Amino acid sequence: MVKKMSKGRNFTVENQHMSQRDIFWTRVGELMREDEDIVIVTADMGTPVFDKIRTIYPHRFFNVGIAEQNCISVASGLAKEGKKPYIFNIATFAILRAFEQIRVGVSIMNLPVTIVGTGTGFSYDDAGPTHHLFEDIALMRTLPNITINSVSDNVMARKLADISREMSTPNYVRLERHINPDIYETNDDFSKGFQVIREGLDGCIISNGFMLWKAFEIADELSKHGKNVSVIDLHTYPCKENNLVQTLEGIPSIITIEENFLPGGMGSYVMELLGDRQIHKNIKRFGVKQEWVYRYGGREHNHEFHGIDTKTLIKETKMFMGV
């Protein structure tokens, strides 16, 4: 089960020295022993795990060089021939540089290609706006057939390697670059596309990935003032939408927190689900301002500029909740 909390967080830290990237690809390497159709295509990305996989399965590992568009096209061709390709690149270039190829060769063809991108949001906080990624959810949500997964911990990363193997449609897996403690148990079921991690009736905070930890801190602070809010990890688009709407029906106020541009992002998705069903809620969205920032000094430093640092979020959510 999800490690639910009433107050505070008491998570175990499994695989605490491994990133989501290494956990995911370690599991893919294990699956390659069982399934000869699994292949890997990358645009010159290297990891120690890849070194092992390339050594063991040299004819099932394809490095096309720094050519992300070609990477998608090669994977699409392999999928058309019955293979199960996993693509790996820095998320910014995997999606933005190759978007037309994803649209034509993956979405329109509706092929079982899994695109794995690492470094969403401000993950590459030391690399500037060329590597920051705030628009991928909005872009990928416009394409039919594609499922988007925003990974929140290592347990989910490992499980998504298995889920991706069984999918017959395109899949985009967003991996966090930095290491966070685990939230989930190995037997948790992610099929609904969202998890209620903390329960409360006064409001709800919806987030995912790296920003989920800020949601926990805000919920802790609100509880000190008598406001018990639920925390939902909305990790998959589209989720089981009727289930999510039903979960939110009795909640008067909703806060969404994301490390994306707001138009077309997670908050927009929640508002669309409710608005299309004529369900009216008090909703406050927090996300990245629509402007490029040439600031260095770490992730939280960039969050301060955009008003999504923990201190500002707590202040704004308390005002929104009437505390």
Q: What is the DSSP letter of 144?
A: T
For residues 239 and 206, the answer to whether their CB atoms sit within 8 Å is no
- Could you state, in order of their start, the residue ranges of all structural domains in the chain? 20-175, 194-320
Residue 246 dihedral angles phi and psi, to the nearest 5°: -60, -40
For residue 307, what pLDDT is reported?
A: 95
Per-residue tokens: 48? 């120690």
Nearest-10 Cα torsion for 176, 179, 180, 182:
90
**Locus of tokens 């008598």:** 226
pTM: 0.92
What is the rounded CA–CA span in Å between residue 275 and residue 287? 20
User: What is the number of H-type helices and E-type strands within the chain?
Assistant: 12, 12
Domain 20-175 has CATH 3.40.30.10: no
Residues 183 and 156: their CA atoms lie apart, in Å, by: 9
Peptide bond into 48 cis (omega under 30): no
Q: What is the pLDDT along the chain (323 residues), one digit of tens a residue?
A: 454 443 333 333 345 578 899 999 999 999 999 999 999 999 988 788 888 999 999 999 999 999 999 999 999 999 999 999 999 999 999 999 999 999 999 999 999 999 999 999 998 888 888 899 999 999 999 999 999 999 999 999 999 999 999 999 999 999 998 888 899 999 999 999 999 999 999 999 999 999 999 999 999 999 999 999 999 999 999 999 999 999 999 999 999 999 999 999 999 999 999 999 999 999 999 999 998 878 777 888 999 999 999 999 999 999 999 99
The predicted pLDDT at position 9 comes to: 36
d(CA 274, CA 13): 35
Q: Is 179 helix (H, G, I), strand (E, B) or coil?
A: coil
The sign one gets for the Cα dihedral 149, 154, 155, 158 is positive
First and final CA of the chain: distance in angstroms?
A: 32
pLDDT of residue 272: 97
**122 neighbors 299 (Cβ within 8 angstroms):** yes
Beta-sheet strands, E only, within 159-243: 171-175, 194-198, 203-207, 229-234, 236-237
Domain 194-320 of CATH type 3.40.50.300: no
